[in-house]
Amino acid sequence: MTFSSLTSDTKREGRGWLTLEAILPHLFTLLMLLLWWGYAQFVPDYQLPSPWTVARRITLFVTDPVDMMQLAASLMHVCVSITLAFAIGCVLAGLAHYVLALRLLIDGRLTPFLNAFSGIGWLFIALLWFGLNHVTVIFAVTLILVPFTVINVRTGLQELDRDLLELGQSLTRSAFRRVTKIVAPLLLPYLFAALRTSFGVSWKVVLTAELFGGNAGVGYLLNQARQEFDTETIFAIIFFIIIFVAAAEIVLFRPIQRSLNRRFARV
């Protein structure tokens, strides 16, 4: 291929940052953009706008205050839903762990039920109950997220180190102190995993919920663009979301995960 000259160059340089391994993903991105651009020359704009047009539309999108308000609305939906689902999930998992009588109800009935329930189903039920508004979106997204949180936190509670709990019992008789000083820190990786999964899933579904059940948010914009066959805007929104979610993952979640892994590595 055409990279052969590059390969020999990098080999000569040794194991610097400019190795083939480090450069290949960027070359791949470039190649894909090139292919996209090339293909866009042959098909009409409403089917595939060129990367250049999409990039311009994204800049318009980012600088337009009205569009940014819609993004803020989506962010609000995501944050509220994640918080609610996190709280509900923690309470359910805690009840299943500490109240024996409820264990079968939550582990054997409620969680499998919620886990099997379709997200689209929640959305349409919410539409019947609340109509087109914020509540519908938040309700649907929250209920989709709850099983993910329950399962993660529940696993964390089951994996708690019994010896450490026993140690805690011999150190203090205050249950509150034991929870805040021992249980919560031990649960941290699982709570974080729950948040990370929730974030990924919520962005996947929030646009669907807004498209069908919202009167605000990026999904609502997407619906308008779809009705007007405005493929440029559709592409711009999709790519903006991809960049946004990927950036959050790289800037926020991965570093935290790394430090958690370091701290909680079992020796």
Partner 1 sequence: MFKAAGSSPVQRFVAEGTIIVVLVIWWAGARHLPSFVLPGPLDVLKATLSFVTRPEIGYHAVVSFARVIMSVIVAMLLALGIAVAVRAAPILDGIVERRILTFLNSFPSVGWAILGVVWFDISTPTVLFIQTAIVLPFCLINALAGFRQIDADLDELGMSLTRRPLRRFFRLTLPLAAPFLIAGLRVAYGICWKIALVSELFGASSGLGYLLMRAQSTSDAPMVFACCIVIVVIFGVTDFLVLKPLARRISVNQGLSS
Query: Which residue's CB is nearer to partner 1, number 24 or number 191?
Result: 24
Query: Using CA atoms, how far apart are residues 51 and 65, in angstroms rounded to an integer?
Result: 23
Q: Is 29 in the site for partner 1 (CB under 8 A)?
A: yes
Closest approach, Cβ 47 to partner 1, in A, equals 6
Query: Which residue's CB is nearer to partner 1, number 108 or number 185?
Result: 108
What's the first-to-final CA gap in the chain, in angstroms? 46
Considering only 57, 77, 154, 196, the residue that binds partner 1 (CB under 8 A) is 154
Query: Using CA atoms, how far apart are residues 230 and 261, in angstroms rounded to an integer?
Result: 44
**141 C-beta neighbours (distance < 10 Å), count:** 31
Q: Is 56 in the site for partner 1 (CB under 8 A)?
A: no
Nearest 5°: phi and psi at 64?
Answer: -85, 120
* CB 154 within 8 Å of CB 97: yes
Show contacts with partner 1 in window 203-222 (CB under 8 A). 203-205, 207-208, 211-212, 219, 222
Query: Which residue's CB is nearer to partner 1, number 168 or number 189?
Result: 189
229: left (phi over 0), alpha (psi -120 to 50) or beta: left
Question: Amino acid identity, residue 149?
Answer: T
Query: Residue 40: which of 55, 50, 30, 25 has the closest Cα?
Result: 50
Closest approach, Cβ 246 to partner 1, in A, equals 5
Considering only 4, 16, 17, 25, the residue that binds partner 1 (CB under 8 A) is 25
244: left (phi over 0), alpha (psi -120 to 50) or beta: alpha
Q: Is 101 in the site for partner 1 (CB under 8 A)?
A: yes
Which chain residues interact with partner 1 by CB under 8 A?
Answer: 20-22, 24-25, 28-29, 32, 46-48, 100-105, 107-109, 111-113, 115-122, 124-125, 127-129, 144, 151, 154, 158, 200, 203-205, 207-208, 211-212, 219, 222, 226, 229, 231, 234, 237-238, 241-246, 249
